[in-house]
Amino acid sequence: MIFGRVKSLDAILATAEKKSLHRSLGAFQLTMLGIGAVIGTGIFVLTAEAAQKAGPGMMLSFVIAGFVCAVAALCYAEMAAMVPVSGSAYTYSYAVMGELVAWMVGWALILEYAIAAGAVSVGWSGYFIGWLNSSFHISVPLDLVRGPFDGGMINLPAMVIAALVTALLIKGTKESATVNAVLVGVKILALAMFVILTIPVIKTGQFTPFAPLGFAGISGAAASIFFAYVGFDAVSTAAEETKNPQRNMPIGLIGSLAICTIFYLLVAAGVIGTVGAQPMFGAGGEHLSPGTPGLSAACQAIQENAVVCSKEALAWTLKQVGHPFIGWLVGAAAIIALPSVILMMMFGQTRIFFVMSRDGLLPELFSRVHPKFHTPHVITMLTGLFVTLFAAFFPVGLLADVSNSGTLFAFAAVSIAVLVLRRTDPNRARPFRTPAIMITAPIAIIGCIYLFFSLSQATILLFVGWAVVGLIVYFAYSRSRSHVGLGRDEVHEPEAYDDLEPPVPGTR
């Protein structure tokens, strides 16, 4: 049966019951956590990608993506409150819809975390190279800072930062809340300076035509910009530590997403109104997709003198409007803050792999813990290798889109799980209940499907191919070794891994 081998929710909860969580977070703390978790690579890097897809219409794209995230977040929060254990959407799906669905969700989460880490590495590289040039007048050949899909050969800075973060994770480096708070403050201050300096000099004529590629372009940009919002799970997974979660959780989730959306709209307006955001077209009038050799060649022809060509869109915009030093500071802020994002993404990936290995669906080797560092070193090294390769050869837009495909699949699965569990187990204690579930969950599911099919055809085909590979692996290896299938339906956290303190939730 497709929905067979459901893992007992009571067994899954046994882990959580061993650990009592103190309810201390209020609405304000949750909102601040959400803002810190959401603002990141998407707004620093993908603004240029969105402009090439939608032009000034990318402002509407931010609203669409934010709304879909909001309704999905409410569904996510209910599951996180009921099942506050490792594994995220994979665990929730296992408890409700069975092993096969859980496997596919876990397999999709590989796209979400590992590919996202690669995307952030590429985004960091763009700002680092721009900072080198503006600070020390060092020009690095394009062949060494862009992958083959983006007009170069290999992205060495992206490889280096991914490899360094991998080494830190193996050693067991832990972020402190103080350091994380400082990094969040640096990012917010950088964006605030951008808004203050650009909004007063906006020219309304830059907003026309508003949608040069029609609503299809706006939808495509929304599907990419979705990457800029993901991270709200840092709020939803804090449900067990929230005072009065029925009231404070929706405020934290919706409040943080609303504030971030306003921030994003102001930043987008600053870019569009000052330097323009019209997409580039080829010699024959054809639209050039982001992250392709065609767009790269067109940008080189105009000496990269357009925001859609920039790998550091916000810093570039400030330089164009006469604030090179502030542009330098914004670039420096991205360079300082984004490595913590890569660390958070890669940690999330190793955690998903670890839980799947503990359930017998992946080799036991993946859950092996280093005797000295107490970290899952084998899977961390493997994850780091793939992230490094992704960062070396693929452009940020493609990586973000592929990551979004996995995220959207997982979010849709969680939204379905909430609906199913309301019917199959209505009496279970729910510290947080999704409001208007019969409306909210279907909207979340439809919204995720809409954004998924707004992704490029190449991205959708890549996801389908990845899903097919996942099914082959499941039936060839995982199904016969599943602990649930073998009757070993138990949940435990190895002590060595319990001692590993996860990084403070970061951003993308």
Q: Where are the domains of the chain?
A: 26-85+113-344+395-459
Chain segment 199-233, per-residue pLDDT in tens: 999 999 999 999 999 999 999 999 999 988 887 76
At residue 76 the predicted structure's pLDDT band, cuts being 50, 70 and 90, is confident
φ/ψ of 226, rounded to 5, equals -50, -35
Query: What's the token pair of residue 285?
Result: 């009038």
Confidence check: pLDDT of 392 > 50? yes
Give the mean pLDDT of 111-115.
85
φ/ψ of 287, rounded to 5, equals -75, 135
CA distances from 369 to 70, 385, 476 (A): 37, 18, 26
Least confident of 54-63, 89-98, 278-287, 484-493: 484-493
Chain segment 342-390, per-residue pLDDT in tens: 887 888 788 788 888 888 898 888 777 778 777 778 888 988 999 999 9
Identify which has the larger pLDDT, 2 or 69. 69
Please say whether the beta carbons of 387 and 117 come within 8 A. yes
* Radius of gyration, CA atoms only, the chain: 22
At residue 13 the predicted structure's pLDDT band, cuts being 50, 70 and 90, is low
Instruction: Domain 26-85+113-344+395-459: give its CATH superfamily.
Output: Amino acid/polyamine transporter I (1.20.1740.10)
397 vs 503: CA distance, rounded Å:
26
Task: Please tell me whether the peptide bond between 209 and the residue prior to it is cis, using omega within 30 degrees of 0.
Answer: yes
Identify which has the larger pLDDT, 505 or 321. 321
74: three-class secondary structure by DSSP: helix
Please give the pLDDT value at position 239.
66
Closest residue by Cα to residue 9 from 357, 429, 410, 366: 429
**Which are the contacts of 41, defined by CB distance < 8 A and separation ≥ 6?**
119, 120, 123, 124, 227, 228, 338, 341, 396, 400, 507, 508
Mean per-residue pLDDT over the chain, rounded: 84
Instruction: Give CA 14 to chain center in angstroms.
Output: 29
Please give the pLDDT value at position 174.
54
At residue 497 the predicted structure's pLDDT band, cuts being 50, 70 and 90, is very low
Please give the pLDDT value at position 504.
47
Least confident of 106-120, 160-174, 176-190, 300-314: 176-190
Stated pTM of the model: 0.86
Place of tokens 């579930």: 437
Closest residue by Cα to residue 293 from 396, 147, 402: 147
Give the mean pLDDT of 28-57.
84
> What region, left, alpha or beta, does residue 5 occupy, with left being phi > 0 and alpha being psi -120 to 50 degrees?
left
Least confident of 62-71, 75-84, 193-202, 448-457: 75-84
Query: What's the token pair of residue 260?
Result: 């971030």
CA distances from 264 to 39, 93, 269 (A): 9, 32, 8
Least confident of 202-211, 236-245, 394-403, 453-462: 236-245
